[in-house]
Amino acid sequence: MAPHILRRLRQRVALAAVLGVLTALLSAVTAAVPAAAAGTYQQVTNFGANPGNLAMYVYKPANLPAGAPLVVAMHGCTQTANDYHTNSGWQKFADQWGFAVVYPQTSASNNALSCFAWFDSAKDTRGRGEAASVVQMVTYAESQYGSDSHRVFVTGLSAGAGMAADLLADYPDVFAGGSIASGLPAQCATSQAAASSCQTSSQNLTPAQWGDKVRNSYPGYTGPWPRVAIWQGASDYTVYPVNSTELRDQWTNVWGIGQTASSTRTLTGNTTESLYNDATGKPAVALYSIAGMGHGLAVNPGSGADQCGTSASYFLKSICSSYYTAKFWGLDGSTGGGPGDPGDPGSGSLPAPTGLKVTGTTGTTASLSWSALTGAASYTVLRNGVKAGTSTSPAFTDTGLTAGTSYSYTVVGVDAAGKAGATSSPVTATTTGSGSPAACYTDNNYNQVVAGRAHQSGGHAYANGSNQDMGLWNTFVTHTLRESPAGYFVIADSGCAA
């Protein structure tokens, strides 16, 4: 064989050996790095009695930790749960920030157009119909996935948004926040005949009258109210833009704040964001108005951090509403509501005050104290979620209260720059005297829930109103509950004067 041919043959053999080694190494590396695990989207059956005849679908990210938030996402008319899951963008942020998404689904057997019945008081009120079915889905998810019962949120489009608003009013003890896209105020209509008027014209109600529709949905409730985002296309001629104004009036009134925006800014997609802050400076209500957009959910397809969704029928290219909603709720780990921007009034770094306790009550006052918080220049005291006053010391006396009434208090530290920190755990103070007549009920936790004096979540029973943990939801744990005012229950095992 010629020398030059022999050299080429040796070179080819050497090259083949090198390629073989590289291939082996690549295979080893590939085997050592597992593929990214995918989440699961599936239907869930037997989640409860299901009085509303709904179907339940769930998206659960891979490696979902216990104690994660939970989002309930409700489709619009003529749509399905799968449409909403595929196009809304919620899956992206469920994977990214770690939370499960429940997708309720109605059908033509409930409504000819597969609309949720936001206008039917037999289906959209507390403990009844579709509203009760959705809450059963929440309870199931909390039990099966270990979801945090204090971080449950609901969102929806069109009729789904109308039902989301009703759920926020019916179950403020279940939902920490909501988002209403091209939707209606809570309990705007009580019949299908009245629904069209709500969709297309002003109802000429004052903010207080709108707020009463929420307060009357769960009489006696005195706990914290959900934080609400409102999304509206300015060129929507299916659900007219007046609904977004009425929604803003409704929920700002519930929060006890004015209808003048605390701040306004312009976002992508011709979107104007208006924030309405609570007493601590944290946005309680957010209104997003999108110039030129019609009836649908705003999405912004793409791979950017603030992009999501797929353009489709009623999924309109503009801005990723799911991203800004998730930020508003704090699902990204921020304080929420800014949407998490540095310098947002509610984004202070102070931790929650500890040691909050009731030091005394009279017929008209409640005195509180807590541990001093390093870095706090002052404190804001909230009564039933609304600012009661401020203090520069770790003590406060609230005045002008009603005799024989229970109030829920929390405290927030405020730093020298005026930024509010995290909120303390609540305490309940009950004024002395004979205000509303009290009633006492002694029974096991199971029967207390069945009687409507408590509710169950994650296998535990919680007193309605005060939300006090009563322990396991079964017939073996017994408590005495004191009711005052009507619908507000506190544990009174040590003695209960009716």
pLDDT at 202: 93
Number of structural domains in the chain = 3
Residue 2 located in a structural domain: no
- Determine which of 44-48, 88-92, 314-318, 494-498 has the lowest per-residue pLDDT on average: 494-498
Residue 469 per-residue DSSP state: E
Put residue 418 in one of left, alpha, beta given phi > 0 → left and psi -120 to 50 → alpha. Answer: left
CATH number where 134 lies: 3.40.50.1820
Instruction: Give me the active site residues, please.
Output: 158
* 227-233 vs 177-181, strand pairing mode: parallel
Residue 23 banded pLDDT, cuts 50, 70, 90: very low
- Determine which of 383-387, 462-466, 492-496 has the lowest per-residue pLDDT on average: 383-387
Whole-angstrom distance, CA of residue 148 vs CA of residue 329? 14
Residue where one domain finishes, among candidates 381, 401, 430: 430
Give yes or no: residues 301 and 420 share one domain.
Answer: no
Query: For a pLDDT cut of 70, what percent of the chain falls above it?
Result: 87
Cα distances (Å, whole numbers) of residue 92 to 156, 329, 402: 17, 16, 48
Residue that has been written with the tokens 């208006």 in this structure: 274
Give yes or no: residues 398 and 378 share one domain.
Answer: yes
How crowded is residue 167: how many other Cβ atoms within 10 Å of its Cβ?
30
Give yes or no: residues 281 and 398 share one domain.
Answer: no
Residue that has been written with the tokens 């530290």 in this structure: 413
The larger pLDDT score, comparing residue 7 to residue 281, is at 281
pLDDT at 348: 57
Residue 417 located in a structural domain: yes
Residue 110 located in a structural domain: yes
Residue 137 located in a structural domain: yes
Q: Average pLDDT in the 59-75 region?
A: 94
Q: Residue 123 above 80 pLDDT?
A: yes
Give yes or no: residues 247 and 375 share one domain.
Answer: no
Give yes or no: residues 288 and 362 share one domain.
Answer: no
Give yes or no: residues 171 and 238 share one domain.
Answer: yes
188-192: Cβ within 8 A, 24+ apart: 188/118, 188/119, 188/162, 188/213, 188/243, 188/246, 189/118, 189/119, 190/119, 190/120, 190/121, 191/119, 191/120, 191/121, 192/119, 192/120
Residue 24 located in a structural domain: no
Instruction: Indicate the average pLDDT of the chain.
Output: 86
Cis (ω within 30 of 0) for the bond into 345?
Answer: no
Give yes or no: residues 284 and 189 share one domain.
Answer: yes
Whole-angstrom distance, CA of residue 174 vs CA of residue 188? 21
Beta-bridge partner residues of 268: none
Give yes or no: residues 292 and 420 share one domain.
Answer: no
Residue where one domain finishes, among candidates 410, 430, 450: 430
Q: Residue 303 above 50 pLDDT?
A: yes
Distance between first and last Cα of the chain:
112
Give yes or no: residues 225 and 366 share one domain.
Answer: no
Q: Which of 121, 117, 92, 119 is nearest to 106 (CA)?
A: 117
Residue 185 located in a structural domain: yes
Q: Which domain holds residue 158?
A: 40-329
Give yes or no: residues 50 and 198 share one domain.
Answer: yes
Give yes or no: residues 381 and 324 share one domain.
Answer: no
Residue 221 banded pLDDT, cuts 50, 70, 90: very high
Whole-angstrom distance, CA of residue 122 vs CA of residue 268? 40
Q: Average pLDDT in the 131-160 region?
A: 95
Whole-angstrom distance, CA of residue 103 vs CA of residue 152? 13
pLDDT at 334: 65
CATH number where 415 lies: 2.60.40.10
**Phi, psi dihedral angles at 210 (to 5 degrees):** -65, -45
Q: Average pLDDT in the 12-22 region?
A: 47
Q: Residue 219 above 90 pLDDT?
A: yes
Residue 19 located in a structural domain: no
Q: Average pLDDT in the 319-348 region?
A: 68
Residue 366 located in a structural domain: yes
Would the pTM of this model clear 0.75, i.e. be above it?
no
Q: Angle 207-215/242-255 helices, nearest 10 degrees?
A: 70
Give yes or no: residues 445 and 425 share one domain.
Answer: no
Residue where one domain finishes, among candidates 403, 430, 457: 430
